[in-house]
Each structure stands twice: as C-alpha cells, then as structure tokens.
C-alpha cells in the first residue's frame, strides 16, 4: 500500500513506524502487508485482536479506537509516522480530523468525507449530484409516510437504516409485508438513532462486487475487484451480514470493465468530493451490483472491506 501511495506521490516520506487503528481481520491484513514494505520498522495496532501479535514486527497497544487523546499521546511519544484508520466508526466520528489537527499523517477520510458511508441519505444525494448509477430511492423519517411509500410503489422495497449499523441495517425483503415489517422495526428503534431515518430502495438484481480505490484527494489507484459472501449461511441463505468470507481478484469483471467503472463511478466520486471541498484521503469502496443495465452502486464505504481486505492485501505485493 505504501508503494501504491508512492505511485501517487513519489515525494512521500518513508513511514518507519505505523499505527493501525482497529480490531478486525482487516487491520491484521494491513499490518501483515505493511510490515513487508520498504523502510517499515514497526507496526502497532490499537487495540488489535488475539491474532495480531502473531504477525512479525507487530505489537498491540491497549488503546480503544474511541480514545482520541490516548491515540494522539502515544503517536507523539513513540513518533508514529503514519496512522491508518481501519474501521468506519472512528472515521465517522471524526478521528482522522482530530489526528490531523494534532499534526499527524493519517490514512482515512475526515468526518465530512466519511458520510459516504455514515449516512446513506447523504450518499444517495451525492450520487445523484455526481450522476453515479444507483438504485432509485425514497427517504422517510416517520412510519406512516414510509408505509405510504411502500403502498404507492406496490413492490417490495429494500429498507435501509440511514446511519451506521455494522452491516445489519439493510433488509432485502421477499415481499411487501417484509418491507413493512422492516420499516416498523427501524422506527421502533432496532438500529437506535441510525434508524431514525430510513431509505427505501428499488430492488436491484445481479452479482455483487467490491471495488476499492485509494485516494490522496487528487488521484486514484484502483485495486483488483473482490467479492465477499454476504449471507450468514451456506448456499447464500440466511440474513445479510458484514461479510462471511471473501476472495480476490473476482473474475466478475475484466480490466476493460474495471476501467469503465473507474470512468463512470470512481472518477466522478472523487471529482464531486473535490467540488464539495472535501480533501478525501483514504479508501473509496464502491459496493456494486452488476445489473442487466450496467453496474450500479449499492453502497459506498469509506474504508477497506472486511473480509475483502484479507484477500486483497496478499495480491498487492
């Protein structure tokens, strides 16, 4: 990954000490890959997990990802050159902004850019402004109105909590009643404040692929496509999850299609971020559905996918 950033900016200083924030397999995969990069001497992961310290050159720090003051303090005291924020919650809470304010070099967007993931409503209006292909949608912040939308469309609509819900805030219904139950549950508080507003979406069909681009705010480097397995049980059965496993490169799209996706989705994303004055440094993750009328964005995320990252990092050399 450091080499990829050097492609964007050859003057980038070498990072000797890196701190990765998070506790997933994603963060371990990043640590495993970065430990092999030229010039890297030590990787710290805060808080890491049971497997982190098995990675050579890697040490866990017992600091929560929400403890901003402790993160800044340790970065300054052990002279961290680069902080990589792995997960969405600290990005959405503005950790990158706070660390940058303290003079640190950070990989991960600020709070404004992280809205690509932290508010589906924000992301939808962003996509519409940028002309990015995505499912038609409606928004509602009260039950009666949401039920009225379902009745008037008279088709099962996908129901999404507006805010972060650890990959569990989306219901893909089998029928109209399931759409109605999902909005009722959201307004009864199933997703806390994340479900105070719901997005009702036209149902799309097709295989899904995860596309990742690294951005320094000006340019993009697009990584190989990956696919994760969303459903809880074997045979694509059971409820959606954050991802039960992944593989890459996914043969669902070839390099010509990837270039097309860059042109129709990723470039307009970066351009629109820039037009909005957002200096987006980090991962732009577009979750796509390959529909019969072309790729459409199902969601944006502001960080690497987990588990996709575990399949991607070993490919990057």
18 binds, among ligand AMP, ligand GLY, none (CB under 5 to 8 A by kind): none
Q: Give whichever of 40 and 308 is closer to ligand GLY, judged by the CB atom.
A: 308
Instruction: List b or e across 177-211, with b for residues whose CB sees 16 or more CB atoms inside 10 angstroms.
Output: eebbebbebbbeebbeebbebbbbbeebebebbbb
Q: H helices within 61-202, ranges in order?
A: 68-77, 88-92, 95-101, 111-118, 120-130, 143-153, 176-187
Per rule CB under 6 A, is residue 262 in the interface with ligand GLY? no
Among 243, 268, 282, 295, binds ligand GLY (CB under 6 A): 243
Give whichever of 121 and 240 is closer to ligand AMP, judged by the CB atom.
240
- Write down the least CB distance from residue 299 to ligand GLY, Å: 8
Provide the CA 182 distance to its chain's centre, in angstroms: 23
Q: Considering the rule CB under 6 A, would residue 299 count as an interface residue with ligand AMP?
A: yes
Per-residue binding letters, 277-296, with ligand AMP (x by CB under 6 A): ----------x---------
What is the C-alpha end-to-end distance of the chain, expressed in Å? 9
User: Which of 201/308 has CB closer to ligand GLY?
Assistant: 308
| Closest to 120 in 3D by CA, of 154, 165, 153 | 165
Six token digits for residue 239: 């409820």
* Between 66 and 166, CB nearer to ligand GLY: 166
Name the residue whose CB lies closest to ligand AMP.
299
121's tokens: 């409503």
Select the binding partner of residue 243 from ligand AMP, ligand GLY, none (C-beta < 5 to 8 A, by kind).
Answer: ligand GLY
Residue 227 makes contact with ligand GLY by CB under 6 A: no
Helix (H) or strand (E) holding 267: helix 267-275
Contact pick of 150, 308, 310, 313 for ligand GLY (by CB under 6 A): 308
CA 150 to CA 160: how far, in whole Å? 13
Select from 25, 133, 167, 249 the one that contacts ligand GLY (CB under 6 A).
167
- For residues 222 and 214, what is the distance between their CA atoms, to the nearest angstrom? 6
Q: Using the rule CB under 6 A, which residue among 40, 43, 164, 170 binds ligand AMP? A: 170
Instruction: Name the segment binding ligand AMP (CB under 6 A); options: 13-21, 23-31, 101-109, 201-209.
Output: 201-209
165 phi and psi, to 5 degrees?
A: -145, 35
**Residue 228: CB minimum distance to ligand GLY, A:** 4
> CB nearest ligand GLY: which residue?
243
Quick one: which of 128, 131, 126, 160 has its CA closest to 146? 160
Rounded to a whole number of angstroms, the minimum distance from the CB of residue 306 to ligand AMP is 13
- Go through 239-273 and write b for each residue having 16 or more CB atoms within 10 A of its CB, e for each that does not: eeeebeebebbbebbeeeebeebbeebbbbbbebb
Token pair listed for 145: 């109105």
Handedness of CA 242, 283, 106, 247 (dihedral sign): positive
Which range in 50-58, 177-185, 263-271, 304-312 contacts ligand GLY by CB under 6 A? 304-312
With CB under 6 A as the contact rule, which of the stretches 21-29, 57-65, 70-78, 197-205 interacts with ligand AMP?
197-205
Residues that bind ligand AMP in the complex, under the rule CB under 6 A: 135, 158, 160, 170, 172, 201, 203-204, 208, 230, 240, 287, 298-299
Residues that bind ligand GLY in the complex, under the rule CB under 6 A: 167, 228, 242-243, 301, 305-306, 308
């Amino acid at each position: 990954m450091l080499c990829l950033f050097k492609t964007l900016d050859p003057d980038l200083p070498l990072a000797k000490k890196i701190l990765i924030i998070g506790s997933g397999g994603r963060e371990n995969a990043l640590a495993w890959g970065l430990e092999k990069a030229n010039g890297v001497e030590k990787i710290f992961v805060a808080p890491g997990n049971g497997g982190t310290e098995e990675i050579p050159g890697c040490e866990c720090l017992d600091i929560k990802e929400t403890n901003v003051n402790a993160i800044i303090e340790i970065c300054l005291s052990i002279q961290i050159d680069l902080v990589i924020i792995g997960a969405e919650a600290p990005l959405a809470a503005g950790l990158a902004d706070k660390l940058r304010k303290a003079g640190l070099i950070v990989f991960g967007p600020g709070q404004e850019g992280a809205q690509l993931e932290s508010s589906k409503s924000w992301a939808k209006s962003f996509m519409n402004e940028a002309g990015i292909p995505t499912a038609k949608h409606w928004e509602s912040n009260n039950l009666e109105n949401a039920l009225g939308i379902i009745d008037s469309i008279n088709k099962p609509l996908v129901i999404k909590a507006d805010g972060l819900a650890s990959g569990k805030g989306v219901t893909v219904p089998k029928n109209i009643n399931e759409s109605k139950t999902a909005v009722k549950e959201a307004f009864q508080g199933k997703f806390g404040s994340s479900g105070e507003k719901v997005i009702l979406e036209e149902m799309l069909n097709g295989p899904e692929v995860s596309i990742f681009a690294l951005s320094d705010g000006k340019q993009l480097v697009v990584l190989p496509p990956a696919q994760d397995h969303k459903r809880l049980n074997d045979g694509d059965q059971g409820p959606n999850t954050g991802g039960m496993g992944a593989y890459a490169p996914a043969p669902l799209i070839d390099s010509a299609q990837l270039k097309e996706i860059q042109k129709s989705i990723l470039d307009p994303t970066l351009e629109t971020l820039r037009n909005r004055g957002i200096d987006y440094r980090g991962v732009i993750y577009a979750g796509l559905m390959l529909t019969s009328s072309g790729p459409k964005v199902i969601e944006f995320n502001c960080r690497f996918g987990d588990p996709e990252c575990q399949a991607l990092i070993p490919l990057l050399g």
